[in-house]
C-alpha cells in the first residue's frame, strides 16, 4: 500500500519561500504523476500542479510564476517550493498521487501539513 508523508516547516515568513517534501513509501516513485494540492483552513481544495517522474511538469497558472515541483527518484521523494508567500498561501498542503496522464484523479494522499504564513 502506497503511503505519502509531507514534511517541512509549519511557519513561513511573508515574502519567503515555502518548501515541503513528500516521502513516498510502499511503492516506487517511478511512473505516476506526483501532485500537490492545498486547502486553506475551512475552505476548498486547490490543485497546485504535478511532476511526472521523468521530469515533465504542469502547474496551475494562478501559481505558476511562484511554484517549482521537483523529484528525487533516488530518495523516493518529491518536493514543492512556493516563493514570495503571503498570508493567502496559508493552507494545509497535501501531496498526492495521480495514476496517469489520462486519469487526472488522486488515489493516494498524504495526511497533510499545515503551513502558516506569518511574521
List of residues contacting another protein (CB under 8 A): 44-47, 49, 58, 60-62, 94, 103-112
Closest CA to 50 of 70, 65, 30, 66: 70
For the bound state, the minimum distance from the C-beta of residue 74 to another protein, rounded and expressed in Å, comes to: 26
For the bound state, the minimum distance from the C-beta of residue 84 to another protein, rounded and expressed in Å, comes to: 20
| Three-state DSSP state, 89 | helix
Our CB check for another protein shows the closer of 44 and 55 to be 44
* Contact call for residues 94 and 78 (beta carbons, < 8 A): no
For the bound state, the minimum distance from the C-beta of residue 109 to another protein, rounded and expressed in Å, comes to: 4
Contacts of 14 (CB under 8 A, 6+ apart): 85, 86, 87, 117, 118, 119
Our CB check for another protein shows the closer of 3 and 15 to be 3
Our CB check for another protein shows the closer of 16 and 49 to be 49
Amino acid at each position: 500500500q502506497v503511503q505519502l508523508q509531507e514534511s517541512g516547516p509549519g511557519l513561513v515568513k511573508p515574502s519567503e519561500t515555502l518548501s515541503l517534501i513528500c516521502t513516498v513509501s510502499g511503492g516506487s516513485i517511478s511512473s505516476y504523476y506526483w501532485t500537490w494540492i492545498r486547502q486553506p483552513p475551512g475552505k476548498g481544495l486547490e490543485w497546485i500542479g504535478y511532476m511526472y517522474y521523468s521530469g515533465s511538469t504542469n502547474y496551475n497558472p494562478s501559481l505558476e510564476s511562484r511554484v517549482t515541483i521537483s523529484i528525487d527518484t533516488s530518495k523516493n521523494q518529491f518536493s514543492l517550493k512556493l516563493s514570495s508567500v503571503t498570508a493567502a498561501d496559508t493552507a494545509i498542503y497535501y501531496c498526492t498521487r495521480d495514476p496517469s496522464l489520462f486519469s487526472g484523479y488522486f488515489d493516494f494522499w498524504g495526511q497533510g501539513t499545515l503551513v502558516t504564513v506569518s511574521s
